[in-house]
């Protein structure tokens, strides 16, 4: 068994529908062996509505969706999952719910030991990494730790935005924020994934897919285009 992840920057690209921009990659990623996908809607407040959206979309690609919030035992649902999809929303709310439902370790085990394919988008991509230290989201709730599922040994900044030279807004650019993270000791690389990009991880190989590329930030080194 080998690790298989599809980490998407964002679920919806401007001007298209939910998961439209990455649907071919999702079909190729899950393939024909997967029949049912365990969906994790913890990042949004209305879990029922969110599950309907994901269920309707994945049905058009040929997959049935079970939602973890409909299972009587979330840990058992992860144990039985053929494939896992964690959707976007608020990363703090998502990680707190993953801890509250005690599924962080179980998801890690299933993906890294059993080779269960993992699809993440936005916040679902953030929680697949080392930590949520490089999310863009507002800290609306406080998870017990910023340490995440740790399916890869680096962090991702989804919805990555290049600096806008015409901006008059004085908040830090995304690049400045990631640089501040790298002022802290022992911080891992951060992949800035632009909207429209996704990372396919198969074993030890990572392939950038989509149309918009990414930027890689390494502590004490200049960032590079990928």
| Active-site annotation, residues | 122, 137, 159
Phi, psi dihedral angles at 225 (to 5 degrees): -75, 145
Number of residues that bind a copy of itself (CB under 8 A): 37
In angstroms, the CA 119 to CA 196 distance is 15
- Binding letters toward a copy of itself, positions 11-50, x by CB under 8 A: -xxxx-----------------------------x-----
In angstroms, the CA 111 to CA 188 distance is 21
Instruction: Assess 54 for contact with a copy of itself (CB under 8 A).
Output: no
Output the smallest distance, CB 165 to a copy of itself, in A.
13
Instruction: Assess 125 for contact with a copy of itself (CB under 8 A).
Output: no
Instruction: Assess 10 for contact with a copy of itself (CB under 8 A).
Output: yes
- The candidate with the shortest Cα–Cα distance to 197, out of 151, 162, 158, is 158
Phi, psi dihedral angles at 96 (to 5 degrees): -60, -45
Q: Which of 137, 191, 193, 198 binds a copy of itself (CB under 8 A)?
A: 137
Instruction: Assess 166 for contact with a copy of itself (CB under 8 A).
Output: no
- Report residue 169 CA to chain centroid gap: 28
Mark residue 51 as left, alpha or beta (left: phi above 0; alpha: psi -120 to 50; beta: remaining): alpha
Q: Which of 23, 27, 136, 173 binds a copy of itself (CB under 8 A)?
A: 136
Looking at the Cβ atoms of 184 and 222, the one nearer to a copy of itself is 184
Looking at the Cβ atoms of 204 and 220, the one nearer to a copy of itself is 220
- Report residue 86 CA to chain centroid gap: 7
What's the DSSP call for residue 211?
A: S
Looking at the Cβ atoms of 109 and 180, the one nearer to a copy of itself is 180
Neighbour count for residue 17 (Cβ, 10 Å): 12
> Which stretch, 56-64, 108-116, 173-181, 216-224, contacts a copy of itself (CB under 8 A)?
173-181
């Amino acid at each position: 068994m080998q690790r298989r992840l599809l980490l998407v920057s964002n679920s919806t690209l401007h001007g298209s529908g939910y998961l439209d921009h990455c649907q071919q990659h999702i079909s190729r990623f899950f393939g024909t062996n997967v029949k049912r996908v365990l969906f994790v809607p913890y990042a949004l407040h209305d879990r029922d509505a969110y599950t309907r959206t994901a269920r309707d979309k994945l049905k058009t690609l040929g997959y049935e969706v079970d939602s973890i919030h409909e299972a009587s035992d979330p840990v058992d649902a992860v144990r039985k999952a053929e494939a896992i999809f964690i959707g976007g929303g608020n990363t703090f709310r998502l990680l707190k719910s993953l801890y509250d439902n005690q599924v962080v370790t179980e998801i890690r085990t299933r993906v890294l030991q059993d080779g269960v394919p993992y699809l993440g988008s936005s916040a679902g991509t953030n929680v697949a990494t080392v930590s949520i230290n490089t999310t863009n989201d507002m800290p609306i709730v406080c998870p017990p730790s910023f340490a995440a599922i740790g399916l890869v040994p680096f962090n991702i900044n989804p919805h990555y935005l290049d600096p806008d030279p015409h901006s008059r807004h004085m908040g830090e650019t995304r690049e400045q924020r990631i640089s501040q993270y790298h002022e802290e000791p022992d911080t891992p690389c951060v992949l800035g994934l632009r909207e429209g990009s996704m990372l396919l991880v198969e074993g030890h190989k990572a392939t950038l897919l989509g149309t918009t590329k990414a930027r890689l930030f390494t502590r004490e080194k200049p960032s590079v285009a990928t």
